[in-house]
Structure formats: structure tokens, C-alpha cells
Amino acid sequence: MYSLLVLPRGSAKQLLSPSRRYSAQKSTTSKRNRLTAGLTSTKTAQHTTATASARTLREARDQLRLWREENERRSLEVVDLWDTHLQSNIHKLGDERLLVWEQVCIAALDCNRIDVVDICLVSLANEFPSSMRVRKLQAMKLEALEKYDEALELLDQIIKRDETNAAPRKRRVAILKAKGKIVDAVKELNEYLKKFMSDQEAWQELCELYLLEQDYAKAAFCMEELVLHNPHNHLVHQRYADIKYTQGGLENIEVARAHYCLALKLNQNNMRALYGLLLAATNVSTMTKGLTAPKKKECSKLIAWASQQIRNRYEEAAGHSAEKELEALDSVLGALQISGLSA
């Protein structure tokens, strides 16, 4: 009979030959190294992901800050940044999250993302339960939902608490305009301008409302106020000239011609002012009453100069490959001058 030999634990390795023992140790070491390398790569990937996430969050925060400083809406981009980076990491922004909530709320209203608006409004209301700025945003939400009466009621409450607050008064004008009550909007905006006479945006909006009513004389008065506030803006001079040209008559068209010249003096690349100057000078040259010979000669020079400038702009934009378009332009300008001189 054979006796059963029981070896102590670990003695089996001792019975292996040296070559087999070395192979076993090498295999164990290789497995241990692979395991260590896997754990290290996992930690590295996690660290890289966290670093990239922090970098994208920082970039999103800096981008929103830049748009706030430059007063740019960029509503679609703001909402996209909120969805991709900010919503889940808003707590990492510290006190700046309050400004971000307000910015995102306004952008979401522009994009009709009421779900995002609700998130921002709830967060802001928890931070500032009695804030007038938060209530204004709530009124804007009601306005976006076309609950105009409720929005007007809330705006009236804000105005009663702070009569010097201009924002809710402007929102009232916007709501009246959205409801199609142009006359009431004009009345409200006139009352606003009695208290805030230096508000250039309000003067511009009042001008647009008067144009909707085809009241060109009052629209021109609003643009005159803007010219006084901002005399070096070529777009203001151009807009005022457009209105005076539309009014018609020798005196108004001469004023339009003068302001088209001012617009071109401030910005030589204003094509609308160039065309306006050409039309104004052509129309003045066709009028016989009150037009002296020097004025007619001056108008002829302006017509020739404006026509040449328009052709030069088209040549710079199209190059020499658009001869047919340039010939068509010359024929149109020539026909305009001929019709004006023969009238």
C-alpha cells in the first residue's frame, strides 16, 4: 500500500524546478503590473475628464461674463451653454451664479424656453424673495405667456413701490405695443419721457411708433432729439434724412440731403446714405420753384459724385468679373438722372 503524502501549504512551489518557479513568478508580476497600470490609467482618465470639465465650465463662465460686459444678448448661445455646462455645475460659480441665473432667464425668454425660465426664477426667488428685479422677470414671463393683464398688474405694483424704476415702465410700453394699442403705447412713452428725457432708446422707440402711425413730423422731432444726444452717429443722421425725404417738399428734401452728407462724412461706407444723397439731389434738381442756379449746379455735382462712389463700391465688391451688373447699374443711374433733369 502506498501512503498518502500530505505536503504543507507552499511546499508545492518548492518542488517545482527553478525554471518553472521563475516563470510562475514572472506571470504573477506581469498580472500585478497590468492591474496597477489599469488603475493608474483609470485615475488618469478621471483626472483628465475632471480637468476638461473644469476648463469648459471656466470658459463658459468667462464667455457669459464677456457678453454681460459688452451688453450682448446672444440668447441661443447662452441657453446652449446652460444646457451643456452650467446647469449641473451652477453651484461652483459662487455668487456669480446670481448674475448667470438672470442672464440665462432673459435668454430663455427670448428662446421661449419656459422650463429654463422656471428653474432660474425659482432659484432667484429663493435668494431674493422681495426683489424688484425678480418681479420684473416674473412679469416678463407672464408677457411671454401672453398673460398681458397679469403682467401689467405686476408691473404697476413694481412702479408703485419704486417710481424711479425705468425698466417696468418700458415693459408697459412693450406690452401695449404687443397688444396692438399703438396710441396707448405712444401716450405711455410720452409720459415716460417726461421723467426720463435723456433715454435715447425711448426716443428711438417713440420715433418707430410715430412711423407706424405715419406721423412723420413727430417722428422727425424724435430723431432731432437723438441727433442732439448723439451727433456723431452716422445712423442717426441717415434715419433722420430718410424721414425728412419721405415728408417731401423742397425744404425737407434739402434737409435730408444735408444729413445724408453728414452721414457720409462720418462713415464713407454707408451705402444707404449714398443712395439717399443721389435721390435727394436728383429730386431737388427737378424742382423749379425756389431753386437757384448755384443750388442746381451743386446738385449736379452731388449727383455725379454719388453715382461715381456707388459704382466704385460695386467694383470693389464684385471686381472685374461682373461687367454686366455694372452696366445695368450705370443704366439705372443714368435713367434716374435723365428722368430727374427732364421733369
Q: Do 105 and 137 meet the contact criterion of CB atoms below 8 Å apart?
A: yes
Hey, is 172 helix, strand or coil?
A: helix
User: How far, rounded to the nearest angstrom, does the alpha carbon of residue 110 sit from its chain's CA centroid?
Assistant: 11
Q: What is the pLDDT of residue 211?
A: 95
d(CA 215, CA 29): 91
* Phi–psi pair at 281, nearest 5 degrees: -65, -40
Query: What is the chain's mean pLDDT, rounded?
Result: 82
Of 234, 239, 337, the C-alpha closest to 284 is: 337
- Residues 309, 10: Cα–Cα separation, whole Å: 100
* CA 112/CA 73 separation, integer angstroms: 14
* d(C-alpha 50, C-alpha 162), whole Å: 46
Closest CA to 116 of 128, 126, 103, 97: 103
d(CA 68, CA 58): 15
Q: Return the amino acid letter for 183.
A: V
Please tell me whether residue 331 adopts helix, strand or coil conformation.
helix
C-alpha span between 330 and 336 (Å, rounded)? 10
Q: Determine the topology of domain 152-229 in CATH.
A: 1.25.40
At residue 240 the predicted structure's pLDDT band, cuts being 50, 70 and 90, is very high
Contacts 24+ apart (CB under 8 A), 73-81: 73/106, 73/107, 73/110, 74/107, 75/106, 75/107, 75/108, 75/110, 75/111, 76/107, 76/111, 78/103, 78/104, 78/107, 79/104, 79/107, 79/108, 79/111, 79/113, 79/116
Distances (CA, A) of 11 to 8, 18, 21, 27: 6, 14, 12, 19
* Residue 142 near residue 151, CB atoms below 8 Å: yes
Domain-by-domain residue ranges, the chain? 56-145, 152-229, 250-286+296-336
pTM of the model: 0.72
Q: Report the pLDDT value the prediction gives residue 27, as an integer from 0 to 100.
A: 59
Query: What pLDDT digit, counting tens, does each position of 21-35 carry?
Result: 545 555 555 656 565
Closest by alpha carbon to 282, among 263, 318, 254, 309?
Answer: 254
Query: Could you give the CA distance from residue 160 to residue 154 in angstroms, rounded to a whole number?
Result: 10
What's the average model confidence in pLDDT over 270-274? 93
Q: How confident is the model at residue 43 (pLDDT cuts 50, 70, 90)?
A: very low
pLDDT tens digits, one per residue of 255-271: 999 999 999 999 999 99
Q: Are 226 and 203 in contact (CB under 8 A)?
A: yes
pLDDT of residue 310: 86
164-207 pLDDT, tens digit per residue, is 889 999 999 999 999 999 999 999 999 999 999 999 999 999 99
- Please state, in angstroms and rounded to a whole number, the distance separating the CA atoms of residues 34 and 131: 59
